[in-house]
A and B are shown apart, each in its own frame.
Chain A
Amino acid sequence: MEKNLKTQVLIIGGGATGAGVARDLSLRGVNCILVEKKDINAGASGANHGLLHSGARYVSSDPESAKECRDENRRLKQLAPDCVEETGGLFVAVEGDDEKFIADFPGYCDNIDLPCRQIDISEAREAEPALSDKTIAVYEVEDASIDPFKLVLENITDAQKLGCKFFRHLKVVKFNKTGNNIKTVNLVNKNTGETMSIEADIVVNATGAWAGQVAALAGTHIDLIYSKGTLLITHSRITQRVVNRLRPPADADILVPGGTVSIIGTTSLRMESLDEIKPTVAEVDRIVGEGASMMPVLETSRYIRAYSGVRPLLGGGGKGDDRSVTRGFDLVDHAKDGIENFITITGGKLTTFRLMAEKTADLVCSRIGVSAPCQTRKIPLISAHETRWAVPGFSPKNWFNSHDKDDLLLCECEMVPQSAIEEIVGYFDIFDKHADLNGIGKRSRIGKGSCQGNFCSLRIAAYLYDRDHLSSDQGVSEIKSFLNERWKGQRCLLWDTPVVQVELQEAMHCGFFGLELNPDS
């Protein structure tokens, strides 16, 4: 089925930036379509610490980024309180860390009016018992944690309510130009093979690390460095506050709590390509070792997931640590390259996503003659009904309050009932009926409990067949791709109990069902 759509603005990329641009433009009354080749937060937006920077991390190396973080931190705490947990943050130095850096730190903060208070070490260790007894200095800052999945779901849902269309699994394959303008964009659905053509006045490339590839497809160029970062999620929450190592950025020096877990990372590894972005055992061991020098408990903690993202960094590839490359963002008007209606927004970080979206939308609006000002500085992001299943802790609470006996729990670890699955499938766009387990996973807690998808994948697949959301042999590839998505995060963390769970999973899915013998359809 060939589809032709028309819109004012086509936004490519379903991460934080693309979602932010979609909401910003929609609030200004601009008609737009957001397309994503995989699903929300498939790149760096879904593979970061979930840290709402106070800015203190960048005071010495990049004061401009620090200021942007400082302002956006305060704004998001007010505008998106449901996505933010106001944990507060600490900068902590341990024996052996650079004393000059420690001594200079408060001065750097003062330079940009960033609140930073030195606190007594014993007081700090009382508040955060996980801190090492070798701690030598502690400063308190205004860091917080932010849920990137909820943030992006809320932005997209709000945009959709304002008329924006969102399509998943839709990959750009060709830009068709007339003179210096992109006239239409050809896209293909990666699941169904169906093609679509979208005519737009302006095209926004918000594809993060993939911005160079998309720009090249449009016949222009973006210079990016790929820096891979790996992070680990602990089984339980280690600290109440964000804990940063007080030293120039290095491996495993930030621990961010969120809900019942903590996230420790990252590494920084220059990558030549975007193909194999997966954590490695060596990275995991390095993070555990480095993290343990700041918080010894990390040496023996149980870890539930490892993941890697790619920071799209700007600039021509310096020699130093990629973390010293600017974390600022880049808004490129490709008119200078001879494409009048093509804009790329890349770089930056989660904390400044709203600002990036605002600047992009300003440029878009100036081009299409829209004078409406940015609304996202003022209008709060209210939690939508549609996003509630993604929130940790919502499902169990809902289950205990609902008392609907016919509503069977399909994910018993996270207590997700079949009504939630049915509802989420209903949100999938009308052109993409395919009910994928990974898509349901992005919008709920399925597979995130202790079974890591072993059992719930089977219950949910059976249910989806019963409801005609799956047919023929689709279930096998769904179960396989869902388990493989979980596997990416488990593979490097398999010792002790997780090895046991994985053995049972292989005994069932391979030994019993023989799914490894079924070719992927």
Chain B
Amino acid sequence: MTDINKIYSELTIIGTGMAGMAAAYFASKNKIETTQIGINSGIIYSSGFFDLMGVHPIEDRKTWENPWQAIDKLVSDIPDHPYARLGRSNIESAMDQFMEFMNEAERPYMVRKNQNTKVITPVGTVKSTYGVPRSMWAGAVALKEKHPCLIVDFWGLKAFSAKQITDMLMPRWPGIRPLRISFPAVGPSSDLYPEQMARSLEIEANRIQLAEAIRPDLGDAAALGLPAILGIYKPRQVREHLEELLGVDIFEIPTIPPSLPGLRLKEAIEAKITGRGVRLLSQKRVLSAAQNTDGTFELSIGDRATSEIQQIIGCNAVILAGGRFLGMGLHAGRKKIREPLFDLPVFQPEDRALWHQTNFFDPRGHQISQAGLEIDDSFRPTDLAGKPVYDNLFAAGSILAHQDWMRQKCGAGLSIATAYGAVKAFKKLNIEHPTSNIEF
């Protein structure tokens, strides 16, 4: 055992998805010494859009223009929803600070004051969201103003059809039309991937070739939509250069996940967070967790493939932000749903027969989506009596019960705001276990 590396951390965040990353950001902003652990980040599946609150009640398919009014109504109808633990001012602070952070990370977002924005998805549907990546903003404007617009796709890029998108949008946007071209400057492979195209466009000469290929068909278009392939590391330069070459506003439409907007987010956030001093153990997972007699936690860390302990982390507090089933924060067995690390009580339907509706798209959503950890006002998972299971264990993000982020369209907001709430509660409880007292 002596050769196993042991480290100490004031706070450990388990999970590297949006909630874990937001928690790491808020913790670093508050100068909390933080370690973060996770295997694959769910952020790579992100479209790039930051939903705050869009649909409620979901069974009525009621969509809201103003996310704050939607939250007010939600909180009054569903007092157990995690948003109800925060109040508007906390949610607003969390979102504002995180948007500011995205600016710092050079992944700027556009937000309409107190208003959701309609954006285009790769299947041609229109989605309401809150934060729109700058690279996609001109699409939202063109859609709103119905500017003449050209949507371009490429031979060899699967699951992105300009024809599909324009066919879908034509009834509400007559000035939109499709164009298919060959992607310049890619080798003989006919199967194209967004990442490879994005790398290619980081080279100036390739951008010029692309502009030349589009120019003859530009016609009266005032805006130009492309799949999200405009660079990985320098998306702003790539887009602005193309705008200059073609003289129109250019926007990206996200491709199906995992997509570049997700990858860009993940890389930028990781770089920024580690730069702020967070110790990020990526591609690692927590094998087991135990509480010491002094109340601190001891976490055994291994890699994804083996269950061999490689490292031990001692910490004063833990924020569970491992997401749901995809993130492995929860596990569904044949009989019941469990929280695998601390074996916390999981709010869930009585019987597996109730987990899922018979229609996948049932507007009521699936009951299993409401399952998760119940918390107190300090974001601490509670037992059946409503008391915190541990004083120093917090939870944030989609692992929480009584929400359906996929149907309510509140994914990013839920992650960011509850991470903010958990970090704030940690600070407020002012847990003090000086480093010197911890012994391994």
A462 is contacted by which of B61, B164, B356, B369 (Cβ under 8 Å)? Answer: B164
Q: Which residue of B lies closest to A456 (CB)?
A: B159
4 shortest A-B CB distances, which residue pairs? A462-B161, A465-B164, A511-B406, A281-B353
Nearest CB in chain A: distance from B1 CB, A: 32
- Determine if A471 and B123 form an interchain contact, defined as CB atoms under 8 angstroms apart: no
B332 is contacted by which of A455, A495, A513 (Cβ under 8 Å)? Answer: A495
B168 is contacted by which of A278, A476, A480 (Cβ under 8 Å)? Answer: A476
Residues 409-422 of B, flagged 1 when their CB comes within 8 A of A and 0 if not, give 10100000000000
- Determine if B180 and A466 form an interchain contact, defined as CB atoms under 8 angstroms apart: yes
Chain A residue numbers with a CB within 8 Å of B121 are 512-514
Query: Using a CB–CB distance below 8 Å, which chain A residues touch chain B?
Result: 276, 278, 280-282, 285, 405-406, 408-410, 455, 458-459, 461-463, 465-466, 470-473, 475-476, 479-480, 483-484, 487-488, 491, 494-496, 499-500, 502-518
A278-B358, A281-B352 given as contacts; is B159 within 8 A of A462 (CB)? Answer: yes
- Determine if A475 and B124 form an interchain contact, defined as CB atoms under 8 angstroms apart: yes
Q: Which residue of A lies closest to B256 (CB)?
A: A458
Query: Using a CB–CB distance below 8 Å, which chain B residues touch chain A?
Result: 45, 47, 49, 51, 55, 61, 63, 121-125, 127, 156, 158-161, 163-164, 167-168, 170-171, 180, 188-191, 254, 256-257, 324-326, 331-334, 351-353, 355-356, 358-363, 366, 368-369, 405-407, 409, 411
Q: What would 27 A/B residue contacts be, using CB atoms closer than 8 Å?
A: A280-B353, A405-B190, A408-B158, A408-B190, A408-B191, A409-B191, A462-B164, A463-B161, A473-B124, A479-B123, A483-B360, A487-B359, A491-B358, A494-B368, A495-B332, A500-B326, A503-B326, A504-B45, A507-B411, A508-B256, A509-B360, A511-B406, A513-B121, A513-B122, A514-B121, A516-B407, A518-B125
- Determine if A515 and B191 form an interchain contact, defined as CB atoms under 8 angstroms apart: no
Give the number of A-B contacts (CB < 8 Å). Answer: 155
Nearest CB in chain A: distance from B268 CB, A: 20
- Determine if B161 and A465 form an interchain contact, defined as CB atoms under 8 angstroms apart: yes
Nearest CB in chain B: distance from A419 CB, A: 13
Chain A residue numbers with a CB within 8 Å of B333 are 495-496
Chain A residue numbers with a CB within 8 Å of B125 are 476, 513-515, 518
- Determine if A405 and B158 form an interchain contact, defined as CB atoms under 8 angstroms apart: no
- Determine if B161 and A466 form an interchain contact, defined as CB atoms under 8 angstroms apart: yes
- Determine if A484 and B359 form an interchain contact, defined as CB atoms under 8 angstroms apart: yes
Nearest CB in chain B: distance from A485 CB, A: 10
A495-B334, A499-B325, A511-B411 given as contacts; is B356 within 8 A of A480 (CB)? Answer: no
- Determine if B190 and A496 form an interchain contact, defined as CB atoms under 8 angstroms apart: no
Q: Which residue of B lies closest to A493 (CB)?
A: B334
Q: Which residue of A lies closest to B333 (CB)?
A: A495
Nearest CB in chain A: distance from B145 CB, A: 22
Q: Which residue of B lies closest to A472 (CB)?
A: B167
Nearest CB in chain A: distance from B56 CB, A: 12
Complex: A98 Cα to B168 Cα, angstroms? 63
Complex: A508 Cα to B406 Cα, angstroms? 9
Chain A residue numbers with a CB within 8 Å of B324 are 503
Nearest CB in chain A: distance from B142 CB, A: 19
Complex: A496 Cα to B423 Cα, angstroms? 31
- Determine if B123 and A510 form an interchain contact, defined as CB atoms under 8 angstroms apart: no
Nearest CB in chain A: distance from B347 CB, A: 16
Chain A residue numbers with a CB within 8 Å of B156 are 408
Complex: A198 Cα to B316 Cα, angstroms? 79
B167 is contacted by which of A471, A488, A496, A512 (Cβ under 8 Å)? Answer: A471
Nearest CB in chain A: distance from B129 CB, A: 10
Complex: A463 Cα to B351 Cα, angstroms? 41
Chain A residue numbers with a CB within 8 Å of B351 are 281
Chain A residue numbers with a CB within 8 Å of B325 are 499-500, 503
Complex: A502 Cα to B164 Cα, angstroms? 25
Nearest CB in chain B: distance from A466 CB, A: 5
**Residue of B127, B158, B171, B254 with highest tally of chain A CB at under 10 A:** B158
- Determine if B361 and A510 form an interchain contact, defined as CB atoms under 8 angstroms apart: yes
Nearest CB in chain A: distance from B213 CB, A: 18
Q: Which residue of A lies closest to B411 (CB)?
A: A511
Nearest CB in chain B: distance from A170 CB, A: 25
Nearest CB in chain A: distance from B161 CB, A: 4
- Determine if A506 and B353 form an interchain contact, defined as CB atoms under 8 angstroms apart: no
**Residue of B63, B168, B170, B369 with highest tally of chain A CB at under 10 A:** B168
Q: Which residue of A lies closest to B357 (CB)?
A: A491
Complex: A406 Cα to B164 Cα, angstroms? 21
Complex: A499 Cα to B359 Cα, angstroms? 16
Q: Which residue of A lies closest to B363 (CB)?
A: A516
Complex: A488 Cα to B356 Cα, angstroms? 11
Nearest CB in chain B: distance from A282 CB, A: 7
Chain B residue numbers with a CB within 8 Å of A496 are 331-334
- Determine if B407 and A510 form an interchain contact, defined as CB atoms under 8 angstroms apart: yes
Chain A residue numbers with a CB within 8 Å of B188 are 405
Complex: A499 Cα to B356 Cα, angstroms? 10
Complex: A409 Cα to B168 Cα, angstroms? 24
Complex: A184 Cα to B257 Cα, angstroms? 52
- Determine if B257 and A512 form an interchain contact, defined as CB atoms under 8 angstroms apart: yes
Nearest CB in chain B: distance from A291 CB, A: 14
Q: Which residue of A lies closest to B356 (CB)?
A: A491
Q: A496-B334, A509-B361, A513-B127 are in contact. List 14 more A-B contacts (CB 8 A).
A: A281-B351, A455-B256, A463-B161, A470-B167, A472-B168, A491-B356, A503-B325, A506-B406, A512-B49, A514-B125, A514-B127, A515-B125, A515-B361, A517-B63
A516 is contacted by which of B171, B189, B361 (Cβ under 8 Å)? Answer: B361
Nearest CB in chain B: distance from A459 CB, A: 4
Complex: A280 Cα to B191 Cα, angstroms? 41
Chain B residue numbers with a CB within 8 Å of A495 are 332-334, 352
**Residue of A285, A408, A470 with highest tally of chain B CB at under 10 A:** A408
Complex: A491 Cα to B359 Cα, angstroms? 9
Nearest CB in chain A: distance from B196 CB, A: 14
Chain A residue numbers with a CB within 8 Å of B254 are 512
Q: Which residue of A lies closest to B126 (CB)?
A: A514
Q: Which residue of B lies closest to A299 (CB)?
A: B334
Complex: A152 Cα to B123 Cα, angstroms? 34
Nearest CB in chain B: distance from A424 CB, A: 18
Complex: A358 Cα to B406 Cα, angstroms? 54
Complex: A311 Cα to B257 Cα, angstroms? 42
- Determine if A487 and B360 form an interchain contact, defined as CB atoms under 8 angstroms apart: yes
Q: Which residue of B lies closest to A515 (CB)?
A: B361
Nearest CB in chain A: distance from B360 CB, A: 4
Chain B residue numbers with a CB within 8 Å of A484 are 359-361
Complex: A321 Cα to B406 Cα, angstroms? 44
Nearest CB in chain A: distance from B373 CB, A: 16
- Determine if A459 and B359 form an interchain contact, defined as CB atoms under 8 angstroms apart: no
- Determine if B167 and A465 form an interchain contact, defined as CB atoms under 8 angstroms apart: yes
- Determine if A506 and B366 form an interchain contact, defined as CB atoms under 8 angstroms apart: yes
Complex: A39 Cα to B128 Cα, angstroms? 37
